[in-house]
Amino acid sequence: MKQLALIGSWGADIQGVNKPGEGEGGVASFQVDEESGTLTFISRAAPAANAGGLCVSADGRFAWSTDERKDIDGYHGSGGGICAYRIGDNGSVTWLNTVSSAGAYPCYCTVDSDGRYVFAVNHGNHEEVVSRSVRMPDGTFGCERVYDEGSLGMFPILEDGSLGPCCELVGFRGHGINEWFQWTSHPHSVMLDPSERFVLVGDKGCDLIRVFEIDYDHKKLITKAPGKVPDGTGARHLAFHPMKPVLYCNGEQQNTVNVFAYNPDNMDLRLLQSIGTLPLDYTPRDDPNDPFANSQTADMRVHPDGRTLYVTNRGDDSIACFTVLADGTLELLEIVPCGGTIPRAMNLDKTGAFLYSVNQRSGNIAVFRVNPESGTLTPTGTDIPVKNPASIQFICKEEV
């Protein structure tokens, strides 16, 4: 068995802003050297999508990505897309088809282990607003501010790995306490629980972990009671512990990890801990033009052995490493530089020997060796240049 890395990147026109030369877009495949962690380029799929989210089939034959945009049909407001790819035995990536995401700026996707459905969330945009003329509750007339709607979509996977149109969609309403960032729902992750009976969504606009039971046979999502993170947290990404009934959710805005115990029968969530991800002496930069002058968390992963959790900090440009205690709560182990700037994503390879930091602004993938005893990270010195990288996944193939 050989390992491949799939890296998704944004193109030059992300969110309607054309920046020629800053991004290649789409999904590229790389051969993984399991001794050194080095990645060697194999192929890139066309067309170039804004592949901010990426997931792979259990057998390594197919992959799917988001196309994070709002103009998929050529005009602003037509939404984004979900793309399907075939992974060849030699590691090549071939685009199969793209379907509408049924929303704006899809940013994260996942797939069940049997390869029946892709689940994807549409993030929307918190800066654009439409004024709608309405009658107010007191009978007078005025304007209502309307934003893109966050949503969760369910997409059937066809026999050849391509996607059918969205077969189920749940739109989200609500807001948080942050007057700039939380005007409306902004889901940024979707995750299946270990039993794959439930699908969970991290909604950073509403400070919620939304929970749905999946009716696979009837292609339906049944709304369950959500979990609540502390106000203003910005629930971004989710990760289940591989052995314990514990769920982790990183807070984008408050730079925290929130630890929940969950009931596997009904996915009821109970908050156990909130712990910070930044150094105690961290000071935000004075730069009003940089959204990451005040650091924000981005991606989060639990090591396959369940002993360590990792979170990236965009702005501090670091990776916070935590030891997982017996009850699933966390203790800070170390905070290390990410090897670049704005680590939007990261992942561990299939062996758990290496961690890869996807540094978006600096345009590189930095490789770290994971200490098998302590979980601490050591830079290998390997640096893979990728324009505007945004996501990374690993698969195993019989022949590469």
Q: Identify the residue with better confidence: 338 or 180.
A: 338
Provide the pLDDT for residue 400. Answer: 42
Q: Residue 114's CB: how many other CB atoms inside 10 A? A: 11
The per-residue DSSP string of 90-135 comes to TS-EEEEEEEE-SSS-EEEEEE-TTS-EEEEEE---SS--EEEEEE
Q: Identify the residue with better confidence: 356 or 132.
A: 356
Residue with tokens 């009904």: 266
Percent of all residues in the chain with a pLDDT value above 90, rounded to a whole number: 82
Burial 255-288 (b: 16+ CB within 10 A, else e): bbbbbbbbeeeebebeeebbbebbeeebeeeeee
Provide the pLDDT for residue 213. Answer: 98
Please, which pLDDT band fits residue 16 given cuts at 50, 70 and 90? very low
How far does CA 109 lie from the centroid of its chain? 7
Integer Cα distance of 358 and 256 in angstroms: 20
Percent of all residues in the chain with a pLDDT value above 70, rounded to a whole number: 96
Question: Stretch 305-332: mean pLDDT, rounded?
Answer: 98
Provide the pLDDT for residue 307. Answer: 98
Provide the pLDDT for residue 18. Answer: 54
> Does the structure show a pLDDT above 60 at 202?
yes
Please, which pLDDT band fits residue 20 given cuts at 50, 70 and 90? low
Summarize pLDDT for 77-93 with one digit per residue, the tens.
889 999 999 999 999 99
Domain spans of the chain, in order of start: 2-397
Integer Cα distance of 205 and 183 in angstroms: 7
φ, ψ of residue 15 in degrees (nearest 5)? 55, 35
Which pTM was predicted?
0.95
Summarize pLDDT for 104-161 with one digit per residue, the tens.
999 999 999 999 999 999 999 877 778 889 998 999 999 988 888 899 999 999 999 9
* Torsion sign over Cα 394, 329, 311, 374: negative
Instruction: Sort residue 330 into left (φ over 0), alpha (ψ -120 to 50) or beta.
Output: beta
Summarize pLDDT for 261-318 with one digit per residue, the tens.
999 999 999 999 999 999 999 999 988 888 888 999 999 999 999 999 999 999 999 9
Q: CA 101, 260, 350, 82: dihedral to nearest 10 degrees?
A: 0
**CATH superfamily assigned to domain 2-397:** YVTN repeat-like/Quinoprotein amine dehydrogenase (2.130.10.10)
At 298 the three-state DSSP class reads: strand
